[in-house]
Structure 1
Amino acid sequence: MAANRESSVSLKLLIDEKTNRVVDAEAEKDFVDILFSFLSFPILGDSNADDVNAKGLLCNLTMSNEFFDFLCSFLTVSIGSVIRALEGNSGLGCIDNLYTSVKDLDEKWFGSDVKDIILDPRIAQYHNCKRQSLIFPDRYESFYMIDPRNGSTFAEEPSLFIVSDDLEVNPLSFASSLQLLKEVKVAFSDIEEQVITVGTKEALSLLKAALTSPSSALTNGLIPS
């Protein structure tokens, strides 16, 4: 079987030369697709209490199997569904801004019904504990996650977006670019343009930054320290 080739996308960054921080990114739909896909990821994947106990990962804790099963079920819930359940305030870095951006973007930037499914990705049947106190009702009778995309992408094409350092996503326009520069208080003369390639390594770094950085996901995820 042939090995899967790593895919990559190009991304234009506008960087403040004085601070070496990203002001914004000018992105085509391929990069925005990467960002939107973060919301569809399960926090970990399917888990099993017996497997975890067998590995000896529980130390000095006493709990019933049902409660431990309940805790493990948290890891199977998608990031988007978690943020929705917490009404957009998960405390998970900049990912809340990404969720709000999807919520605020007009339907025309997405395929049919894609927007709602990005905001609340559905969980496959059996990827939950038997006595679940949290209600995530949208499940398919399948072990497989649904594919919410329109064809092969989340965003409609052609699409151009501006992405701020804290992962606010808006349609690209002169007005939106100018407004962002005013908000971050960076002079045009201090702006440096860089075009980078975002592959697997960069996407993983960006995902980590999106979940941990409160305001600088692009900088922390894509700019070498």
Structure 2
Amino acid sequence: MTDGTTGGRPGRGDTGPDRTKVILGGGTAAVLLAIIGAAGGWVLAGDQVGPDPVSSGVSDTLTPTPAVRTSPPRERPKPTASATPSGSPSPSRPTGLTVPHLVGMDFEEARDELRDRGLGWQLVFGSGDSSSVRSTDPAPGTPVRRGVTVKVNVAGAAPPNEVPDLTGETCNEAGAELVDDGFSPRYPNGRSGTVTSQQPVGGTVGRWNDVVQIWCGTSPSVEATAPAP
């Protein structure tokens, strides 16, 4: 019998070469199981790893690309006209007023034309017999401002002119009348009050542009006889 005793010790039936084969077979099976388990674990571990986003292209479709906002370029302010530097005189603005064409006109008509435009005049007579305008300064068409005096050159000599009687008129009225009649008023003692005397006296025949003196408020004879202070 195989399970008897040998040398007084109970014997086992699986001794000998068969037992060695069994042990080797079990070891081989354990190694194979270990290899299979490792491979299975690697496979299982590999299943837990997500797909490669680069190779699969999933990230391109599932992950939205953030929109990049760009603001439009800001417009630069346009350069403005430079202001007149402080202390510099501002250019005169055109008024549309020009010297009228007076050449060939009678000098009295030329004077009235200048007065209607708000311009002053200065009559400069020549030596001939003509009363027509020979030239003007400034020249015709020159832009001017109101109040500018225009020199009127007359071809002929100054014609005779009678001095008006101004006694009793206000000083301002008397002066305006003298200018209208072609004389140059002078005010030896001021321009307030009424005219008490004049020189030359009314009715005297003179010429255009002659000077007429008028005393307003106090007669020159009274001034001469007044007592010294």
TM-score class normalised by the smaller sequence: under 0.3
Given the two structures, how large is their TM-score scaled by the length of structure 1?
0.19
- For the pair shown, the structure with the greater C-alpha radius of gyration is 2
Highest relative contact order (Cα 8 Å, sep 6+), 1 or 2? Answer: 1
- TM-score norm. by structure 2 comes to 0.19
